[in-house]
């Protein structure tokens, strides 16, 4: 597991880590967070739901420099998820549905763990490229239903040059994120 060592405001808000694994057929990411889970009140386990980042949410970002497209995956503590394909920063790709994923989540007192698996076939379909990907792993902790996210709630593995997760030009080769 790799720890989130800081937030945009300094020390990490909670003890949290992730494991990104390249498996035979795809990528699997697991988030492990100490602290009580704050889930979106309207979301059931394993639902597909936009806006998960307004509460506790692990995120995986994948980018193809070859096509300029990137994928954003959001994963809630209860396994609810959302994903979108972008053709450039914050511009949603037209005509390309979100990838199919398998998710799970476990919530216990003082702890949550959530896992997402996406096949290489689905990543390639969405990005239009089968190799040379870069990415980032991020974490949003704490509620921000008004869309004003406090800096101490935002955690990123790759140091970004701005308080904006949609910065594929700042991400690193995927191999450096995989454990």
170 in Cβ contact with 134 (< 8 Å): no
Residue 49 carries which DSSP code? Answer: -
Element of type H or E holding 16? strand 16-22
Show the CA angle centred on residue 46, arms to residues 121 and 5, nearest 5°. 80
Per-residue pLDDT of the chain (179 residues; tens, 9 = 90+): 999 999 999 999 899 999 999 999 999 999 999 999 999 889 999 999 999 999 999 999 999 999 999 999 999 999 999 999 999 999 999 999 999 999 999 999 999 999 999 999 999 999 998 889 999 999 999 878 777 889 999 999 999 999 999 999 999 999 999 97
171 in Cβ contact with 156 (< 8 Å): no
Structural domains for the chain: 2-174 (2.60.40.1190)
136 in Cβ contact with 177 (< 8 Å): yes
Buried b (16+ CB within 10 A) or exposed e, 53-84: bbbbbbbbbbbbeeebbbbbbbbbbbbbbbbb
pLDDT at 143: 77
pLDDT at 179: 77
75 in Cβ contact with 91 (< 8 Å): no
């Amino acid at each position: 597991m790799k720890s989130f060592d800081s937030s945009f405001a300094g020390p990490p808000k909670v003890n949290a880590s992730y494991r990104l694994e390249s498996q035979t057929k795809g990528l699997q990411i697991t988030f492990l967070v100490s602290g009580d889970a704050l889930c979106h009140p309207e979301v059931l386990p394993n639902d597909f739901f936009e806006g998960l980042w307004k509460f506790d949410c692990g995120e995986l970002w994948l980018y193809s420099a070859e096509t300029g497209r990137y994928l954003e995956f959001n994963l809630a503590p209860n396994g609810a998820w959302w994903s979108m394909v972008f053709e450039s920063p914050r511009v949603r790709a037209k005509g390309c549905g979100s990838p199919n994923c398998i998710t799970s989540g476990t919530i216990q007192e003082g702890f949550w763990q959530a896992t997402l698996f996406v096949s290489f076939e689905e990543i390639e379909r969405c990005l239009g490229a089968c190799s040379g990907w870069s990415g980032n792993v991020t974490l949003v902790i704490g509620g921000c239903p008004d869309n004003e996210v406090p800096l101490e709630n935002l955690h990123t593995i790759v140091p970004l040059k701005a308080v904006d997760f949609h910065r594929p030009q700042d991400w690193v080769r995927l191999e450096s994120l995989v454990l």
